[in-house]
Structure 1
Amino acid sequence: MASFKKAKGKIMLSISNGRNGLGITSRLAELNDLDMSLESAREKIRAISLEESNIDVSQLKKIKRIGEGGFAIVELHELTLPDGTVTKVAVKILKDKVPGPKPKAVPGADYEPPPMVSVPPEAIARFEAEAVLTKLFKSKNVVKSYGIAKGSDKFMFVQECCSGGSLLDKIQKPRSYSAEEALGWAIDTARGLAYLQGSSVNISVAHRDLKPENILISDEGVAKIADFGLSRMMDPEVNRQQELVGEDVMKDQFGPDGHSFSKMTRQTGTARYMAPECFTSTDYSRKVDVFSYGIMIYELWTRKRAYEDLYLTMDTVAKMVATENFRPTIPKHWPPELKGFIEECWHPNPEVRPEFDAIVVRLTKMMQAINEATEAGQVHPALAALEPPMSACCTIS
């Protein structure tokens, strides 16, 4: 059978080299030195997940189903903690079967739905590895992971429940939030990313799919980063990507929409938020998240999806972003401070984009200035930029 590291169908777990001393990462790093099959690798990941978990399926009580994705359903459960406290959690449950490749269309023939196939083992490994990775995170601005529930024949990934919805929910509801709330969520998200990409966890994580759908709002109104399925652990010293679960294994596999996974080897993420270097190169840094963040903040302030007025596919837009420096048009009434910040975030040169710790400082100062202006009976320009929602299209600069 093909080896774990060298065969075409490999999965890599190149997580630095365990020098950070963290239990989970050092355990995962062991897989680099083992000659094993994909199935064996999956079993080892699962064993680590279960060992690190501190909950049992008997502690969970289903309330209702709240969502569904390509490979999993999401349910709302009550979790009874060891001290007797009951808290609501979101439980991702991996599906047994998913739609396979679409049958080739035959003129005049009746429509045939895609056949149901097993979830690709590589996707299962990615899902399980996410459960291990997220157990490392201890930040109020990252969705808390409880790990895998023990005692179930299904893969049940238990996470904190954020009942406030997502940033996308907010953006799609006109005038549903104030500038202060928008800025607070922007700061929360930047703090979470500064934590993930700083020294707090002794690793550096590139999210690679940052978008409003993946920023959840807690009961207290705090923004939290979620969904690390496409994340990469980076070497903090050289700031280059290290594979958590390799993508080349997807080359001959198909997802639930019938499209090949092979595109994910380079163009990883969501096209609307994809940095130019994601579209054109496999060699990119964590600064791809800063680009996505800039697009997301633009959407928060304009209360609309970027590029939504265009009669173009998002794949076409992503190509234009990468090759023609295409960006959303910033409204003319925006103050230079806000305009300059957004333009730095989505700058074509990753080195020009700010680090997230600097973004936190910058936006915190803006929040302080807004509060001071409000106390003085004035309207800060950044506050006025949000009210009222303005129409914006796009330009090529």
Structure 2
Amino acid sequence: MASGASTIEKSNVGEGGLDSKVKGVGSVSSKDMFIRADRIDLKSLDYQLEKHLSRVWSREEARRPKEVWEIDLSKLDIKNEIANGTYGTVYRGIYDGQDVAVKVLDWGEDGIATDAETAALRASFRQEVAVWHKLDHPNVTKFVGASMGTSELKIPLKNPSTNSRSDLPARACCVVVEYLPGGTLKQYLIKNRRKKLAYKIVIQLALDLSRGLSYLHSRKIVHRDVKTENMLLDAHRTLKIADFGVARVEAQNPRDMTGETGTLGYMAPEVLDGKPYNRRCDVYSFGICLWEIYCCDMPYADLSFAEVSSAVVRQNLRPEIPRCCPSSFANIMRKCWDANAEKRLDMAEVVKLLEAIDTSKGGGMIPEDQANGCFCFATTRGP
């Protein structure tokens, strides 16, 4: 190394770059300069790289033709966070004067996922949006719009005292849907776990769900993750199907639809067993939801996921139907979760059967803490 103890700064690295962060030793030409690793501000470099990737991605997005469902994010005012999950966050907001929920899928920081992984996630997002934006039914959550980029999305401060905004990776996507204040069906059932629901409310919720699924199936759409957590309630307790993250158009050949897609406990035997399946896998899941709605409880509460999966396929395990359950309703459950998919009811048939049920004489489940006997006519049960 050339002699000389003075330190010099490298000043031609670039805008906001290493000029004030990296120092070499000795008065030598740039090609002979040594850079001390302990003097490099890696955090600053990471930040600059992320900003650069964001600008490049934004320019690419600007040149891409817009989809019919893409919205103007400048019109979206996000208020607060209402849920957080594995793949992103749900916020409440206002879009063009409408109360909306904003589902932001961030998939990790820019530069972490490979280009192939990011492309696969974005393709999956397009699939969800492609399914959702064409749907129009009172029992399906109304789609408002979506965006393939979030550079214009204004996220509220996580900690107002720090005055720092929650920056999203440039490749994040968001979907905007109507906001439903009643929360999930699962939350509603848990709230009524002790008192149970009046029979007329059981049938109303069952009808809402069956009508929504019947509509989806008429459009050749298989939801593939029917469960009470994916059903939302509006202010009038109307149920609406949500979350089309794994929904897809039904394949002409069932062998093109395989793999364990859904949630354990609700998955049909053929799905658990890795066999071909069709829309009747939704019918099976619907049958489990019927049991939950009637009992306001969790199926298989004492079993592990592994035990449930094995017993459903090998031993024909199903939730135990309470003795007080009216036979007309119990029969629908059994026909929906039949091990043979071809013997299951069609959702259009389920709608007709539920519409024919008379709720004027009661039939709601007997709460566990009440004495033995039939309390189906009790006027104090349920909301």
2:254 aligned with 1:240: yes
Residue segments in structure 1 that go unaligned for 5+ positions in a row: 1-42, 81-85, 99-115, 244-264, 374-378, 392-397
Are the structure 2 counterparts of residues 272 and 133 from structure 1 closer, same or farther at C-alpha, using a change threshold of 3 Å?
Answer: same
Higher relative contact order (CA 8 A, sep 6+): 1
Please state how far the C-alpha of 1:124 moved relative to its aligned partner.
2.9
C-alpha contact (below 8 Å) 1:144/1:159 kept by paired residues:
yes
Please state how far the C-alpha of 1:239 moved relative to its aligned partner.
6.7
Match of 2:77 in 1: 61
Please state how far the C-alpha of 1:47 moved relative to its aligned partner.
5.7
Please state how far the C-alpha of 1:128 moved relative to its aligned partner.
2.6
* Counterpart pick for 1:195 among 207, 215, 219: 215
2:204 aligned with 1:184: yes
Percent identical residues: 30
Are the structure 2 counterparts of residues 77 and 146 from structure 1 closer, same or farther at C-alpha, using a change threshold of 3 Å?
Answer: same
Match of 1:90 in 2: 101
Match of 1:260 in 2: none
2:227 aligned with 1:211: yes
* Structure 2 CA distance for aligned equivalents of residues 293 and 301 of structure 1: 12
Are the structure 2 counterparts of residues 96 and 206 from structure 1 closer, same or farther at C-alpha, using a change threshold of 3 Å?
Answer: closer
2:186 aligned with 1:168: yes
2:284 aligned with 1:291: yes
* Counterpart pick for 1:147 among 137, 145, 148: 145
C-alpha contact (below 8 Å) 1:62/1:76 kept by paired residues:
yes
3-state SS of paired residue (1:118): coil
Match of 1:113 in 2: none
Match of 1:125 in 2: 123
C-alpha contact (below 8 Å) 2:196/2:367 kept by paired residues:
no
Deviating beyond 6 angstroms after TM superposition, the runs of 4 or more aligned structure 1 residues are none
3-state SS of paired residue (1:163): coil
3-state SS of paired residue (2:210): helix
* Counterpart pick for 1:353 among 344, 358, 364: 344
C-alpha contact (below 8 Å) 1:65/1:74 kept by paired residues:
yes
Match of 1:21 in 2: none
Please state how far the C-alpha of 1:280 moved relative to its aligned partner.
1.2
Are the structure 2 counterparts of residues 176 and 326 from structure 1 closer, same or farther at C-alpha, using a change threshold of 3 Å?
Answer: closer
Letter in 2 for 1:53: W
Letter in 1 for 2:131: L
Letter in 2 for 1:76: R
Match of 2:269 in 1: 276
TM-score (norm 2): 0.69
Are the structure 2 counterparts of residues 54 and 269 from structure 1 closer, same or farther at C-alpha, using a change threshold of 3 Å?
Answer: closer
Match of 2:367 in 1: 388
Please state how far the C-alpha of 1:241 moved relative to its aligned partner.
6.8
Are the structure 2 counterparts of residues 387 and 313 from structure 1 closer, same or farther at C-alpha, using a change threshold of 3 Å?
Answer: same
* Structure 2 CA distance for aligned equivalents of residues 139 and 298 of structure 1: 24
Greater radius of gyration (CA): 2
* Structure 2 CA distance for aligned equivalents of residues 138 and 165 of structure 1: 21
* Structure 2 CA distance for aligned equivalents of residues 280 and 150 of structure 1: 35
* Structure 1 CA distance for aligned equivalents of residues 144 and 256 of structure 2: 25
Are the structure 2 counterparts of residues 51 and 278 from structure 1 closer, same or farther at C-alpha, using a change threshold of 3 Å?
Answer: same
Are the structure 2 counterparts of residues 151 and 335 from structure 1 closer, same or farther at C-alpha, using a change threshold of 3 Å?
Answer: closer
Please state how far the C-alpha of 1:233 moved relative to its aligned partner.
0.6
